[in-house]
């Protein structure tokens, strides 16, 4: 074949590739072309909602005040909202803020409509927060050892609110029941905001909830706090002992939140979103507002697609054997 003809054939073969790359480039440089929706899989006013709303504010500021709206798609422990995003148009206009529960649901649910490891384009880890074991303000026990004793005596009469199977409050409750050797009467809600309302209204006995949602109520003494689930006490709540030091040896739960897009979102959009997320996590006002509710912002290494992919996969691997050992599944 003459050299010239061969070059033509090679060039023609490369055309579709070039066209695809050009289309992706055009698509990403045009992005965003309409309001960005951040789906929260739990109720408005709860901890995930708070993380999502502060993130949405930060993303909007990073994107020249582009409109970023939050939508609560609740139910089934957060899997309904996750599925909403897994099946959304992968154009960078529909995102998900979810927490550690996305990794536990991968094992807890026998059938999920999406494959957790592959259904999303990871964008960035956002925040971390300890959980707090709390009860209605007039609940009889005053310390964690007293609580364990009380729960053992009451058998299953004490009500425990969670945000559904797969929520962090479900995970914490499951670990707590096994560590304390107690059975609680579990009541499922669509998020921790309504759980907190019922604790304040004293129609529910107890829960385990992120410091993001409980710091203010603990400080105002509107709920009774027994322990924090970090290894060390935290400076802002110095009188609150760790679960570990109060007798639940090794008890530790960290609730990480992260931002996802649907699988297939153009790489250039993923990178722009990740850069915007990193910028948002350095926005002084946002960092301050998170700090006030004992919620820390992720560093650049974790606030990246690779950082989130690593976190998501290692958390699925970490929780799977514990959930299997507990033998608690949902359909
Ligand atoms: N993150 C909460 C939980 O897992 C739910 C919520 O954000 O409302 O328990």
239-280 pLDDT, tens digit each? 999 999 999 999 999 999 999 999 999 999 999 999 999 999
Average pLDDT over residues 191-216: 97
CA 163 to ligand 1 centroid distance, Å? 6
> Is residue 291 over pLDDT 50?
yes
Which phi and psi (to 5°) does residue 94 adopt?
Answer: -130, 120
> Is residue 22 over pLDDT 70?
no
> pLDDT band at residue 323, thresholds of 50, 70 and 90?
confident
Domain 36-129+255-326, classified CATH 3.40.190.150, yes or no: yes
> pLDDT band at residue 327, thresholds of 50, 70 and 90?
confident
What residues line ligand 1, using a CB cutoff of 6 Å?
42-43, 46-48, 99, 101, 163, 167-169, 191-193, 210
> pLDDT band at residue 325, thresholds of 50, 70 and 90?
confident
Average pLDDT over residues 308-313: 98
pLDDT: which is higher, 327 or 168: 168
Dihedral, CA of residue 169, residue 199, residue 219 and residue 183, to nearest 10: -50
H-run or E-run covering 213: helix 211-219
> Is residue 110 over pLDDT 70?
yes
Dihedral, CA of residue 315, residue 318, residue 323 and residue 325, to nearest 10: 170
**pLDDT score recorded for residue 330:** 75
Dihedral, CA of residue 44, residue 195, residue 185 and residue 329, to nearest 10: 20
Residue 170 CA: nearest ligand 1 atom is 9
Environment class of residue 301 by beta-carbon count within 10 Å: exposed (0-12), middle (13-18) or buried (19+)?
exposed
**pLDDT score recorded for residue 3:** 47
Residue 169 CA: nearest ligand 1 atom is 9
Q: Which of 12-26, 53-67, 240-254, 301-315 has the lowest mean pLDDT?
A: 12-26
Q: Which of 75, 101, 129, 163 has most ligand 1 atoms within 8 Å of CB, for mutation?
A: 163
> Is residue 155 over pLDDT 90?
no
* Predicted structure pTM score: 0.89
Give the ranges where 63-190 is alpha helix by DSSP (H): 79-86, 101-108, 144-154, 168-180
**pLDDT score recorded for residue 9:** 46
**pLDDT score recorded for residue 28:** 58
> pLDDT band at residue 27, thresholds of 50, 70 and 90?
low
Contact predicate 280/55, CB 8 Å: yes
List the domain boundaries for the chain. Answer: 36-129+255-326, 130-228
CA 111 to ligand 1 centroid distance, Å? 21
pLDDT: which is higher, 17 or 145: 145
Domains 36-129+255-326 and 130-228 share a fold: yes
**What's the distance, CA 324 to chain centroid?**
21
What's the rounded Cα separation, in Å, for the pair 174 and 168? 10
**pLDDT score recorded for residue 254:** 94
> Is residue 190 over pLDDT 70?
yes
pLDDT: which is higher, 131 or 110: 131
**pLDDT score recorded for residue 189:** 96
Domain 130-228, classified CATH 3.40.190.10, yes or no: yes
**pLDDT score recorded for residue 17:** 47
Average pLDDT over residues 27-48: 92
For residue 249, the SS3 value is coil
> Is residue 318 over pLDDT 50?
yes
**pLDDT score recorded for residue 326:** 77
> Is residue 132 over pLDDT 70?
yes
> Is residue 29 over pLDDT 80?
no
pLDDT: which is higher, 4 or 50: 50
Q: Whose CA is nearest to atom 9 of ligand 1?
A: 169
Q: What is the mean pLDDT of the chain?
A: 92
Q: Which of 7-16, 27-36, 299-308 has the lowest mean pLDDT?
A: 7-16
Average pLDDT over residues 202-231: 97
């Amino acid at each position: 074949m003459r050299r010239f003809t061969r070059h033509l054939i090679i060039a023609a073969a490369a055309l579709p590739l070039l066209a695809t790359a050009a289309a992706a480039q055009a698509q990403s440089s045009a992005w965003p072309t309409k309001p960005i929706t951040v789906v929260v899989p739990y109720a408005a006013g709860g901890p995930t909602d708070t993380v999502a709303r502060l993130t949405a504010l930060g993303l909007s500021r990073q994107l020249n005040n582009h409109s970023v709206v939050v939508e609560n798609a609740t139910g089934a422990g957060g899997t309904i909202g996750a599925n909403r995003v897994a099946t959304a148009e992968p154009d960078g206009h529909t995102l998900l803020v979810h927490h550690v529960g996305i990794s536990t649901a991968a094992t807890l649910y026998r059938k999920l409509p999406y494959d957790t490891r592959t259904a999303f384009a990871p964008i960035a880890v956002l925040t971390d927060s300890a959980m707090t074991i709390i009860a209605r303000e007039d609940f009889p026990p005053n310390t964690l050892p007293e609580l364990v004793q009380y729960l053992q005596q009451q058998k299953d009469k004490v009500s425990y609110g969670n945000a559904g199977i797969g929520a962090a409050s479900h995970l914490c409750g499951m670990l707590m029941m096994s560590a304390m050797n107690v059975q609680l009467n579990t009541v499922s809600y669509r998020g921790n905001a309504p759980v907190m309302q019922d604790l304040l209204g004293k129609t529910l006995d107890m829960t385990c909830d992120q410091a993001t949602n409980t710091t203010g109520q603990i400080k105002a003494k509107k709920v009774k706090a027994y322990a924090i689930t970090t290894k060390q006490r935290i400076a802002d709540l110095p009188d609150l002992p760790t679960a570990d030091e109060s007798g639940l040896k090794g008890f530790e739960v960290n609730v990480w939140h992260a931002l996802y897009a649907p699988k297939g979102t153009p790489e250039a959009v993923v990178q722009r979103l990740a850069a915007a997320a990193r910028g948002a996590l350095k926005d002084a006002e946002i960092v301050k507002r998170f700090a006030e509710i004992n919620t820390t912002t992720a560093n650049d290494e974790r606030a990246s697609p690779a950082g989130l992919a690593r976190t998501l996969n290692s958390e699925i691997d970490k929780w799977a054997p514990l959930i299997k050992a507990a033998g608690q599944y949902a359909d």
